Amino acid sequence: MLNQLKRSLSLIFGLILCINSVWLLSQGQRHFAIAFSTFIGVAFILYALFFSSIQRWKQNSRFRTLFWNSLWGGFLFWIISVAAFFAYIQMSINPNIPARPAAAILVLGSGINQGQPSPILKNRLDTAAKYAERYPNTLIIMTGGRNFRERQSEAEVMQSYIYTNYPQLKNPISLEDQSRSTQQNLQYSQAILKQQHIDRNEPIAIVTSDFHSPRARAIARHQGYQQVISLSASTPQNVRYNSWLREYFALISGWLLNEYSLFQ
């Protein structure tokens, strides 16, 4: 009875992960978290399909049993680390827009699809517009390059969205249209700031999603931005936890690539 329950739950869990990955791919998303979720999903499906054979295989050797238990222990440790990261993100979310003025507003890209900003990017742009309305003379820098599937850069699409949906905004807008990552967003924007005689020692507002704010802030500080004002946009509910899982891996890769320091 217990074995049948394990088998059924494993199959259901695996199918959910695989279906979720297919849905994300249909939305134009491409990132490591999807591949990893698909791998885990397929592993659970195979475990369910070959459950009896696996049980016989591991029972024939003490080493196999130890190896199998170690695999489950590692997976459990990973699940705990993801849960802890999700809790950290949830506690870090601050939906309030700071009243502090900035010398410039950097809006970080988050993907476009067929010339339109993704739901996550729309929320970032809406958050930036609300803040910019308070400070109409503040420079806005749209950041994001062009991928092979799009005709326009992400920065151009972001600018068009603001012009269409917020025609009342009078803020000057500059485009950083070469970057492909958060690290590049912030690095390549420095040339525009310099052209506008804005120093990294001045307050700079960085607009991104709530889950992305801690890493973006850490990268900015690593690059010499001294007074970061974090503007956190909400994440749509239907992609929230997928985005958080993606950020989990991005946080690890960013640290390994020395994009930021844990102790800065």
Task: Note the helical H segments in 50-153.
Answer: 51-59, 62-92, 119-134
Percent of the chain with pLDDT over 70: 98
Residue range 30-50, pLDDT digits in tens:
778 888 999 999 999 999 999
Please tell me the distance from the alpha carbon of residue 74 to that of residue 77, in angstroms, as a whole number. Answer: 5
CB count within 10 Å of CB 262 equals 6
Residue range 9-20, pLDDT digits in tens:
999 999 999 998
Q: What is the DSSP string of 96-123?
A: SPP----SEEEEPP--EETTEE-HHHHH
Please tell me the distance from the alpha carbon of residue 142 to that of residue 131, in angstroms, as a whole number. Answer: 14
pLDDT confidence tier of residue 262, bands split at 50, 70 and 90: low
Report the mean per-residue pLDDT for the chain.
91
Question: Which pLDDT score is estimated for 217?
Answer: 93
Question: Which pLDDT score is estimated for 263?
Answer: 58
Q: Is 138 helix (H, G, I), strand (E, B) or coil?
A: coil
Mean pLDDT of 252-264: 80
What would the CATH number be for the domain defined by 104-256? Answer: 3.40.50.620
List the Cα angle 168/237/20 in 5-degree steps.
130
pLDDT confidence tier of residue 111, bands split at 50, 70 and 90: confident
CB count within 10 Å of CB 99 equals 7
Q: With 80 as the cut, is the pLDDT of residue 22 above it?
A: yes
Q: How remote is the C-alpha of 225 from its chain's centroid? A: 21
Report domain extents, the chain: 2-92, 104-256
Percent of the chain with pLDDT over 90: 64
Question: Which pLDDT score is estimated for 133?
Answer: 95
Please tell me the distance from the alpha carbon of residue 95 to that of residue 38, in angstroms, as a whole number. Answer: 32
Question: Which pLDDT score is estimated for 207?
Answer: 97
Residue range 86-107, pLDDT digits in tens:
998 888 877 777 778 999 999 9
Please tell me the distance from the alpha carbon of residue 21 to that of residue 35, in angstroms, as a whole number. Answer: 8
Helix, strand, coil shares of the chain, percent, nearest 5, are: 60, 10, 30
